[in-house]
Amino acid sequence: MRIDIITCLPALLESPFAHSILQRAQNKGLVEVVVHDLRAYATTKHKNVDDYAYGGTAGMVMMIEPIARCIDALKQQRSYNEVIYMSPDGQLLTQGVANELSLLQNMIILCGHYKGVDERIREHFVTREISIGDYVLSGGELAAAVLADTVIRLVPGVLSDETSALTDSFQDGLLAPPVYTRPADYQGLKVPEILLSGNKQKIEDWQYEKALERTKLRRPGILGSEE
């Protein structure tokens, strides 16, 4: 998988991809993440990527030309399954969306900034818009890192234990059940006996019941109207 991220602030994306699982995924050659500085595609003397909005709207708008030049240059090198724009009014990022995107070969992620991008980019270049929540960030860089993280960890071979991703919250429509590790007894605080029993079926039943219980209590909305 290859992920190209377009941003006017590339330094914000240095750390997220230089550590832990995301770094190992790249070192293994399973994923390639390339960050592109939008200013390299600007044609003005001062490498401007934003300008005042027509109509007198407050705030600056990211210009169409640098973004279009960058996307066109990338598309000349390879085909892309999606050109994704991180936007608060996009499709909400869910585990299902992450699962779907993890099957793609190549994607571009465009990070918005200021008051957003020229609408013509959204109409003619972007194929999908995604939001990580109903709130506004200073820019799309952190949102792009969140999206990339959720997708990359699902790529086969990235996690040392591939079954781990299958037991994450939301994979089966439920929150994850409680988890415990050693010691089994910490100052009288004990791990549930069922988890120490070695009975796989009973353990799985317990985990399902606890996951359902936790979901009903904390996030009943994801269970659907029947619940």
Output the CA torsion sign for 79, 84, 85, 89: positive
pTM (predicted TM-score): 0.88
| Integer Cα distance of 119 and 107 in angstroms | 20
> Is residue 61 packed enough to be buried (19+ CB in 10 Å), middle (13-18) or exposed (0-12)?
buried
Q: Does an H or E element contain 146, and which? A: helix 141-152
> CA 110 from chain center: how many Å?
12
CB neighbours of residue 224 within 10 Å: 8
Q: What is the DSSP letter of 93?
A: P
Q: How far apart are CA 209 and CA 127, in angstroms?
A: 40
Distance CA 57, CA 92 (A): 26
- Collect all residues with Cβ–Cβ distance below 8 Å to 149 and sequence separation of at least 6: 16, 21, 22
Residue 18 has what DSSP assignment? S
- CA 211, distance to chain mean position in Å, is 24
What the block records as the tokens of 57 is: 């709207």
| Residue recorded with tokens 């781990």 | 164
Each residue's pLDDT expressed in tens, for the chain with a length of 227 residues: 999 999 999 999 999 999 999 999 999 999 999 999 999 999 999 999 999 999 988 899 999 999 999 999 999 999 999 999 999 999 999 999 999 999 999 999 999 999 999 999 999 999 999 999 999 999 999 999 999 999 999 999 999 766 566 666 667 789 999 999 999 999 999 999 999 999 999 999 999 999 999 999 999 998 874 43
Token digits of residue 10: 């590339």
Domains of the chain: 2-152 (3.40.1280.10), 169-223 (1.10.1270.20)
Q: Are strands 2-7 and 106-111 parallel, antiparallel or unpaired?
A: parallel
